Structure 1
């Protein structure tokens, strides 16, 4: 008899100013797709079937009364975990991915880095380069792109070198790589509603599951798409040409 698969578990340390014991029942009621428990001020998070972590790139934690200041503390207490936060009492917890997706991400990152360096046109950032944008209603959007690029024509080399922590402007190019079977729709929505809506000029959603690249341009209302098996070029990236089919073939 095949043993049951071990469920993935996440442990998040919460700030003392957000005590868990008096909130755990409300948190469980608001986050029904998750199984929540706690030990002191560590929230223990497990999937609640039929929801499965492996099908998604991240999960949402609804946290009543959670503020931007508490979010900063949450990041410091859990420095090996990536979070996103839109100042709306909801924290997005980004989950780890598997090896083939990591290889694809590395290939895209490396090719863009070499291209940008050869042209001396801008800087390429990894997911660790977090952004703090301001929405039209004045809220701070704390977001990360899997890969991003900021042209020196948008922010000079000196200005970019002066950024100590969060990047205060939208990137020239944002790249989101779909790392889970149910991740395409959220990635397309994030590209449209977060990056393009806040000043990004060009966005790529690369999906090894659908075998397509989805291309967003600031001048167009809708995205276009192409096969991931075709060489990828774009007029806004002069001289850039790459093919990512080697990795897509292995992902089902």
Structure 2
């Protein structure tokens, strides 16, 4: 039976449901996501279910520009694949997170069977991008970036289009805020990728 719930608690625009001491198993959680396809759902390391509100056209445009540039580069480069926010990664700490854009090496993907690739991906992407929307809390977005890095992401960018700022996160380093730059260059796993920020700053 499909499980649909009402979320009474709202924190900075995101609704949170704690299923209690009997946390959902991975398969139960995935079934819950399948039964609520109209919702953007993530899971915390504590097993709480987080419903993320719609972000609007401005965010959608920025996200589309970013995923398009990353996809086009990845095709030319050939070392890995690009994923959008519809894909969820099951991480070592038990959380299930969906970045706005991610890059995963072919080597990492080859560790999964064909069947395992049809659902959630039980791996940590090497590179993620998160795009701050009008419904996001900067503090919580930064905390999510810290969580990505703690779970093994090598490089991450948190992009605040309104403030024209890119927060760069690297494994083993402090995050750095880069303001009013016109492009940002990848390194490590995505060396050679350069994101043109002009359309992101310009917006709709």
Report TM bin, short chain: 0.7 to 0.9
Equivalent residue, structure 2, for 1:112: 70
8 Å contact from structure 2 (residues 7, 17) kept in 1: no
Q: CA deviation at 1:214?
A: 0.5
Q: CA deviation at 1:161?
A: 7.0
Bigger mean CA offset, 181-190 vs 115-124: 181-190
Gap change, CA 1:245 and 1:183, over 3 Å in 2:
farther
Q: CA deviation at 1:87?
A: 5.4
Flag the structure with more relative contact order, 1 or 2, with Cα contacts below 8 A and sequence separation at least 6: 2
Gaps of 5+ in 1: 1-12, 16-40
RMSD (Å) for aligned C-alpha atoms: 2.6
Gaps of 5+ in 2: none
Mapped pair 1:242 → 2:198: no
Gap change, CA 1:168 and 1:182, over 3 Å in 2:
closer
Alpha-carbon separation, structure 2, partners of 1:147 and 1:250: 18
Gap change, CA 1:42 and 1:122, over 3 Å in 2:
closer
Equivalent residue, structure 2, for 1:202: 155
Q: CA deviation at 1:71?
A: 2.9
Larger radius of gyration: 1
Gap change, CA 1:66 and 1:211, over 3 Å in 2:
farther
Please give the secondary structure, in 1, of the residue aligned with 2:191.
coil
Q: Within 5 Å, which residues of 2 pair with 1:62-101?
A: 62-65=18-21, 67-69=23-25, 70-86=28-44, 88-101=46-59
Please give the secondary structure, in 2, of the residue aligned with 1:242.
strand
Gap change, CA 1:42 and 1:155, over 3 Å in 2:
closer
Equivalent residue, structure 2, for 1:37: none
Could you list the structure 1 runs, at least 4 aligned residues long, displaced by more than 6 angstroms after superposition: none
8 Å contact from structure 1 (residues 131, 166) kept in 2: yes
Q: CA deviation at 1:42?
A: 4.9
Equivalent residue, structure 2, for 1:184: 138
Give the alignment's TM-score, normalised by structure 2.
Answer: 0.84
In the alignment of these two chains, the number of paired residues is 199
